[in-house]
Structure 1
Amino acid sequence: MSNFTRSVIVTGGTTGLGFHAAAAIARQRPDHCIVIASRKNADGSAESINRSVGRDNVRFMPLDLGDVKNVRSFVQSWGEKSLPPISVLLLNAGSQFPFDIKYTADGFEASFGINHVGHALLFSLLQPYLADEVRIVVTASGTHDPMQKTGMPNAKYTSAEDLAHPSGDALKIPGRQRYTTSKLCNVLWTYALDRRVRRLPQKKWTVVAFDPGLMPGTGLARQYPALLRFMWKRVLPALIPLLRLVVSPNIHRAEESGASLAWVALDDAVKGTSGVYFEGKKQIKSSVDSYDEAKQEELWSWTLKTLAVDEQERRRFEVVE
């Protein structure tokens, strides 16, 4: 590993979007150690990428974003490996629970807990291992924006505590709306973090949100019934050209979106761009709600208060020098 100059982390990098982004980065950055981090690596994804690109710069590390102790253990293991500084951090993994409400190991509603809480904690703990120049990309979704008319329920942000520990009528919120709201949280958090990294005079840290579009065939539908999973995995991928014409142009194969994610992470054309939202390779406006600074700061404050174990750690998580 000592031959590598920089490290890259891709959460959810063993399948779908993250897998193809990791492969594209491995191909373009042979001097970087690319770590794909997921709960499991059943298909030998790191080895598969290495074979496909003819290199040996991809590694797998286990990470469960739904378990705070596991996230902390991951970062401890990272520190023990003496890997090069991280120059690209792709906070990409995501889960959707369309039916009954699910909870993480720590009692957070699972969509919010995995898609937001786990990633926010991972970033906070990894700060000492980030290079002076780092690109952070948060995978969001166009479903967070009602104006996109994706067919998904509108995201609704009330408070972080309501989303983390729903009670009363909030327990009846459909799982798909919990997902779209968690994706709104990804964008809110991105903008809150951007304000903070801009205050670091000695660092060139940038953070953006990224919408990969609809990607039939990926693992996002793994919680759906068997027939819908079959349609998603086997039927819809073959219909992507037609779907682009009759539904939305923002429908892609995972390989295409993975290449776009790698472009947002690496390309000189967007180097230094921060605090913005990309749909594929195109910079666009995110939802109206995502620009609400009160919501951004409420989410940021709740996250720090909830995840930091003491005041000293809270100050570190605040992203100040």
Structure 2
Amino acid sequence: MDYQIEKDQTTDDVLGDMDLTGKRVLLTGAGAGLGLETCRAMAVRGAEVIGAVRDPDKARAAIAQLAGDASGSVELVKLDLASLQSVRQCADALLAKGAPFDVIICNAGVMATPQGKTSDGHETQLGINHLGHFLLVNLLVPLLRSGSRVIILSSMAHRLADIDLDDPNFERRSYDAWMAYGAAKTANVLFTVELDKRLRDRGVRVAAVHPGVVTDTALTRHMSREDYSAFVNAERDIHHRNKSIPEGAATTVWAAFVAPADDVGGRYSQDCQLFDVNDSQVVSNHGPRAYALDPDRAARLWTISEQMVGQSFDFA
């Protein structure tokens, strides 16, 4: 479907004069980069945003700059996606309040990190990008209204690698930072597929988005200067120009508020458009690889993820 939105438009172009008053949104990684812009775009239109961040004190200064323009509100809560205990504490606090959400946006993440483990012993990128969000969203399902949406940020980098479901933590393979990132981003899409399947009868739809190549964010903080320069130059060669932060966050708010829920549910989008499977070996091509949308692999990843977080979820 053509939604008449140009690929390089910004969050303000996409949302226009939309009134989000009365909408309550949980946004991870709200204190910087794409998350901060997503937060701003929603708050200035009246939304009540709960920003889940690793360091609320650090994020508070950035959020404070939004106060003068926002007709909505922003509240910060602590969330460290590298700690399942922190995820549970955050979810418990939100559940105790009992206020429902219209949208949950899983925006926070890391990219191309050195080999490491979360506090729970999982490979860093899988643990933060997938498992932390997997646990958080599932714990908060009771707060999702009928008609709500969950938006999960993936990446074109999912085209780099499928996730090895027999060795997700790189315990029997040599670690490669980019392959691990690609696998984690594939996990994001597979989580979208299975979560949408489980929640659609409750009136909740789940969408995966690729924001585009946005180099001016904290996502690149783990790269050496040389690796960062090579990354920026390579992406510029592929895409001709990289996106600004407001352009990068546009697909997130498009999938959350503009596109029809039944269109984006269980699907992968970028540039404010939906794309069918594209199994070209060219990483920079648009669209998802088939393995990222495979329902059998999505179901298997769900079971493995439950085992890794130590908790099962049944929404029947």
TM-score scaled by length of structure 1: 0.81
Aligned amino acid, residue 78 of structure 2: P
After superposition, the C-alpha distances for 1:120-160 in whole angstroms (9 at most, x for unaligned) are: 00011101111122111100001112xxxxxxxx213221x
User: Per the alignment, in what secondary structure is the counterpart of residue 262 of structure 1?
Assistant: helix
Aligned residue number for residue 197 of structure 1: 199
1:271 aligns with 2:261: yes
In the TM superposition, residue 102 of structure 1 has moved relative to its aligned partner by 0.7
8 Å CA contact 1:196–1:319 kept in 2: the answer is: yes
Aligned residue number for residue 20 of structure 1: 37
In the TM superposition, residue 308 of structure 1 has moved relative to its aligned partner by 4.2
The 3 A distance-change label for structure 1 pair 302 and 188 is: same
For residues 261 and 162 of structure 2, the distance between their equivalents in structure 1, rounded to whole angstroms, comes to 32
For residues 241 and 296 of structure 2, the distance between their equivalents in structure 1, rounded to whole angstroms, comes to 30
Aligned residue number for residue 151 of structure 1: none
For residues 128 and 36 of structure 2, the distance between their equivalents in structure 1, rounded to whole angstroms, comes to 18
For residues 241 and 289 of structure 2, the distance between their equivalents in structure 1, rounded to whole angstroms, comes to 16
Aligned residue number for residue 149 of structure 2: 135
The 3 A distance-change label for structure 1 pair 189 and 54 is: closer
The 3 A distance-change label for structure 1 pair 17 and 163 is: same
In the TM superposition, residue 167 of structure 1 has moved relative to its aligned partner by 2.0
In the TM superposition, residue 306 of structure 1 has moved relative to its aligned partner by 3.2
Aligned residue number for residue 157 of structure 1: 163
User: Per the alignment, in what secondary structure is the counterpart of residue 210 of structure 1?
Assistant: strand
Matches of residues 51-70 of structure 1 in structure 2 within 5 Å? Answer: 51=68, 53-70=69-86
1:37 aligns with 2:27: no
Aligned amino acid, residue 213 of structure 2: L
Aligned amino acid, residue 116 of structure 2: K
- For structure 2, the 5+ residue unaligned runs are 1-20, 277-287
CA RMSD of aligned residues (A): 2.4
For residues 228 and 300 of structure 1, the distance between their equivalents in structure 2, rounded to whole angstroms, comes to 33
For residues 250 and 227 of structure 1, the distance between their equivalents in structure 2, rounded to whole angstroms, comes to 19
In the TM superposition, residue 228 of structure 1 has moved relative to its aligned partner by 4.8
Aligned residue number for residue 94 of structure 1: 109
* Aligned pairs, number: 282
User: Per the alignment, in what secondary structure is the counterpart of residue 298 of structure 2?
Assistant: helix
1:167 aligns with 2:167: no
Q: Percent identity?
A: 25
In the TM superposition, residue 318 of structure 1 has moved relative to its aligned partner by 2.7
The 3 A distance-change label for structure 1 pair 39 and 78 is: same
After superposition, the C-alpha distances for 1:24-51 in whole angstroms (9 at most, x for unaligned) are: 11122x1x32011110141423222223
After superposition, the C-alpha distances for 1:278-318 in whole angstroms (9 at most, x for unaligned) are: 01201112112112222111101111233244xxxx2xx23
Aligned amino acid, residue 307 of structure 1: V
For residues 95 and 157 of structure 2, the distance between their equivalents in structure 1, rounded to whole angstroms, comes to 36
Aligned amino acid, residue 278 of structure 1: S
8 Å CA contact 1:10–1:37 kept in 2: the answer is: yes
For residues 244 and 315 of structure 2, the distance between their equivalents in structure 1, rounded to whole angstroms, comes to 36
8 Å CA contact 1:188–1:296 kept in 2: the answer is: yes
In the TM superposition, residue 184 of structure 1 has moved relative to its aligned partner by 0.5
User: Per the alignment, in what secondary structure is the counterpart of residue 208 of structure 1?
Assistant: strand
- For structure 1, the 5+ residue unaligned runs are 146-153
8 Å CA contact 2:251–2:270 kept in 1: the answer is: no
8 Å CA contact 2:44–2:72 kept in 1: the answer is: no
Aligned residue number for residue 85 of structure 1: 100
2:238 to 205, 223, 247: 247
After superposition, the C-alpha distances for 1:89-148 in whole angstroms (9 at most, x for unaligned) are: 00111112443x110000000100011100000011101111122111100001112xxx
